[in-house]
Structure 1
């Protein structure tokens, strides 16, 4: 076993990519190790042996084999036994120069004995679920989970000859509770995962965390219950069971002991509170659309509507200042994150200040809007707002269709020394979705935006009309000036002048409004409907130079 820092650094520096996984829960089927791909064989139950490239290894439960590319693998299971194992195929890549990668040599042991096999299985079940959905984003999330699993597996391998790290073992159980709070979790199970006696584990856990394992687990469950109480109309019994409590009566007692309020009183307090802190512009926009000025918010000129607030506590320019957030003492915090693990870590911090609702970044803006409305008790107002919005969009869509027909609209973002084409999210969701305007070639494949390095790339989209807006504006006067300079340079460039939309004088300027029209929120989309009507229905609004 190579357990040096050099091996650890090498394994940590590689890129790992999940390629394929299979579960066999009957007689073993052949395992084919593909050229250039590695494999993992994770045994839940099996007796017998496995022959890998001519060498035999004994099989045993909770054992993992690392299979090298080109390896010949044959499982020999005892006839009276039933095999239960997973085979995972993956790629390992190493950087050889800037932006270039080649297959890596892992140089790690063939046999691994992970300390926390059940956690590996939890990851595997989560990967299976996401891969079965057929959704491309779920496939990406499955690969992210695989990164966590492979990191844990190889870290175990590197540390196997070292003294046990009790802090690490306790952190593993904490992570397990965060992921599996809804399951039946006992102190005995956690202590076994940590490799300690139950009493020693409890003492070590309390010394590290400041509370017992079961108190920590109850806190996680209460935190999740708070979100369910605000976001769903489910019964107390359903919510109690969904977060891991045995019945609603124990849940209610525990909830009141932790928060000082009954579940019913808690929901009423939040729904009728005016002390809501918004940490993201897109959520701030939803509050404004509902007629609510947030009690506290991140404020900057990049989203200029926030600078008009008169009574809102400023929490920071782009990220919330934790000291300011604590001083504000909000009753509720709302935010949005890209990834679940990022959400989990930040929620732990924010939830110490106030109950926190974290919305998935990639959720549809209408779902965001209705979720916010439900939290603040404005479901009916939100439904009425959306009905007015749909009617307005339909009316403007018919006007624009009559004027420009099937002509395509390309949205070009201008930043300091940078340029992009906006896709289906943000401004695109209104243009191409609600207004049903023509989508230029290649834009349908762009989710959020695509940076463009040259005007030749821009010409490939062949937009009949171009909307010029800002890209990654930081709200400063310097950025305003830089964007104006970039636009002036475009109008002095012959390649720009040769573009179809430019030569046809079908270019419209919106770059002086920061991200007023490019934020993914109800308020912005409503404002952009008006702006699109104003720009596209009038020749006088075209940008000449």
Structure 2
């Protein structure tokens, strides 16, 4: 037998599992108690050996999640057998021993975290969780992927990834602590939702009903009944629907064979895929593609996609319409399905043949977004894709491939013509794009307007802007660091309302009353260009806005009358 012993026992701080539970009997529930604290991930390690690869930090809490183990763990004076689906909490200054019978039997995760409680206003101190040493997890298999993702993000070296790892950790704690009360029954609905998410993320794999039932720790028959009651269909029907919806996107976006598409979404062969496709949609894959490509009932749920459609000479059948992107208010025959976000009831009433949208920058699908496919086939374009690829993709979806290619050819010719006109005026001077919002200010980077100025026209980029991909919120005190020769003033987070118009105008007046602003090189040289009254007419990341901005840029840079003067 192999031993890992870490003795961190402090007699004054030690409480047995029974004492901790007893302390909670007369107060709020244990779940409510645990939910009242703040938690912060410190580190996560995935350990595959019996060697003591970690030291339990005496000032932090620890969590051990065993994927595979043969032995036992002793926490304080209590010993627990080790096997799958067990989680143990290590309080600070607690003695524990890990005994493993085989050298190759250890596969577990060790998490260090802070637990804090409010002592007084704006002051937090280490908390005492009074949590049981041992927690049971019936859907541990589903947590493994979250743990691996958490570890990757925590150790990527990227600050945003570390923040996402901490968000995943909060979700993990929520799942573990919510059911921490003694005798509390598993939340079956939550477990079923986790298997739905598993199917949505892993539909390409060979997934069985038995596997899904094992993940949530219930019998196959009970799992199927509970699943159908919640989802309105069996688990396998739900999985087939996910695969068919993914296949719809592939059919519209790629020229791959049915066999290739079938295998890529998890179907065994193209014949079974075709049968399932027709059973689900009422049409064969070929009929589906032809119907969608030549349909006029296309719903656009993002302004940038509306811009691409208009550039290709298509007025969307339905769209989000508001003054933030003024072009949409000119649509005469388009059905309004929402002001800033899609209204599901309006979208359902419109009955489009196809929905096109774009995913969020940092987050997965919301519950509403999962419902789009229930209304109509939905194509979701990736956030980080280049706008030219977006345009070509939209063209392919609606059968206007040639129009998209022709449009891009005309655009490149126009870019070169305008570049030859403005370069003798701008030369090597840098241009900073500053967005003005209500009480906020940003510097735009390489996307949106920057993709035209710095990418297409190849104008000089100010110091520090190359590190900004989309935008960066700044203060007036930050602007001298960019040392820009010229400044283009545009809007930031404009919702299209008259209130925002007035607020942004007030912000600009305050700028010009400020000595720091007037001291900037571009302001002293009267090289500030006014474009803040155009909402997001030009700042939308789409072909139409970029084309319009090329004309606006030529007008601005070739006319001194457009400069904002002090």
Instruction: Establish whether TM, by shorter chain, passes 0.5.
Output: yes
1:433 and 2:455 correspond: yes
| Alignment map for 1:251-400 (pairs within 5 Å) | 251-338=273-360, 342-400=364-422
Match of 1:120 in 2: 143
- What is the deviation of 1:73? 6.3
1:411 alignment partner, SS class: strand
Match of 1:163 in 2: 185
2:547 alignment partner, SS class: helix
Q: What stretches of structure 2 of length at least 5 have no aligned partner?
A: 1-19
- Structure 1: how far apart are the matches of 2:362 and 2:428? 40
- Structure 1: how far apart are the matches of 2:122 and 2:540? 31
User: Is 1:31–1:73's contact at 8 Å kept on the other side of the alignment?
Assistant: no
User: Is 2:50–2:103's contact at 8 Å kept on the other side of the alignment?
Assistant: no
- What is the deviation of 1:52? 5.6
- Structure 1: how far apart are the matches of 2:134 and 2:163? 28
- Structure 2: how far apart are the matches of 1:430 and 1:101? 47
Q: Which residue, 409, 424, 433 being the options, matches 1:402?
A: 424
Match of 2:238 in 1: 216
User: Is 1:464–1:506's contact at 8 Å kept on the other side of the alignment?
Assistant: yes
Given the superposition, is the C-alpha separation of residues 44 and 22 from structure 1 closer, same or farther in structure 2, using an over 3 Å criterion?
same
2:109 alignment partner, SS class: strand
- What is the deviation of 1:38? 4.0
Moved more, 230-239 or 11-20: 11-20
RMSD: 3.1
- Structure 1: how far apart are the matches of 2:471 and 2:331? 29
User: Is 1:28–1:83's contact at 8 Å kept on the other side of the alignment?
Assistant: no
1:228 and 2:250 correspond: yes
Match of 1:25 in 2: 48
- What is the deviation of 1:507? 0.8
Moved more, 489-498 or 523-532: 489-498
Match of 2:10 in 1: none
- What is the deviation of 1:106? 4.2
- Structure 2: how far apart are the matches of 1:34 and 1:495? 48
Given the superposition, is the C-alpha separation of residues 80 and 100 from structure 1 closer, same or farther in structure 2, using an over 3 Å criterion?
closer
Moved more, 505-514 or 52-61: 52-61
- What is the deviation of 1:244? 2.3
- Structure 2: how far apart are the matches of 1:105 and 1:387? 66
Q: What stretches of structure 1 of length at least 5 have no aligned partner?
A: none
Per-residue CA deviation, residues 107-148 of structure 1 (Å, 9 max, x unaligned), is 433322211110111223444566787777666555544443
Match of 1:245 in 2: 267
Q: Which residue, 402, 420, 426 being the options, matches 2:442?
A: 420
Per-residue CA deviation, residues 69-113 of structure 1 (Å, 9 max, x unaligned), is 566766432246532223334455566788876665544333222
Moved more, 467-476 or 393-402: 393-402
Given the superposition, is the C-alpha separation of residues 164 and 542 from structure 1 closer, same or farther in structure 2, using an over 3 Å criterion?
closer
1:513 alignment partner, SS class: coil
Per-residue CA deviation, residues 174-230 of structure 1 (Å, 9 max, x unaligned), is 333233322222222223333333223322322333222222222222222222222
2:365 alignment partner, SS class: helix
| Alignment map for 1:43-54 (pairs within 5 Å) | 43-50=66-73
- Structure 2: how far apart are the matches of 1:530 and 1:59? 69
TM-score, length basis structure 1: 0.88
- What is the deviation of 1:462? 2.8
1:192 and 2:214 correspond: yes
- What is the deviation of 1:536? 1.9
- Structure 2: how far apart are the matches of 1:372 and 1:97? 55
Per-residue CA deviation, residues 465-490 of structure 1 (Å, 9 max, x unaligned), is 11111222222333333333332343
- Structure 2: how far apart are the matches of 1:223 and 1:32? 47
Match of 1:480 in 2: 501
- Structure 1: how far apart are the matches of 2:28 and 2:194? 22
Moved more, 184-193 or 255-264: 184-193
- What is the deviation of 1:247? 1.9
Per-residue CA deviation, residues 245-276 of structure 1 (Å, 9 max, x unaligned), is 22221111011011001111111211111111
User: Is 1:408–1:440's contact at 8 Å kept on the other side of the alignment?
Assistant: yes
- What is the deviation of 1:59? 2.5
Match of 2:7 in 1: none
Moved more, 227-236 or 298-307: 227-236
1:154 and 2:177 correspond: yes
Per-residue CA deviation, residues 420-466 of structure 1 (Å, 9 max, x unaligned), is 3323332222223333333334434444333345x333344332211
User: Is 1:409–1:463's contact at 8 Å kept on the other side of the alignment?
Assistant: yes
Given the superposition, is the C-alpha separation of residues 112 and 40 from structure 1 closer, same or farther in structure 2, using an over 3 Å criterion?
same
- Structure 1: how far apart are the matches of 2:531 and 2:50? 64
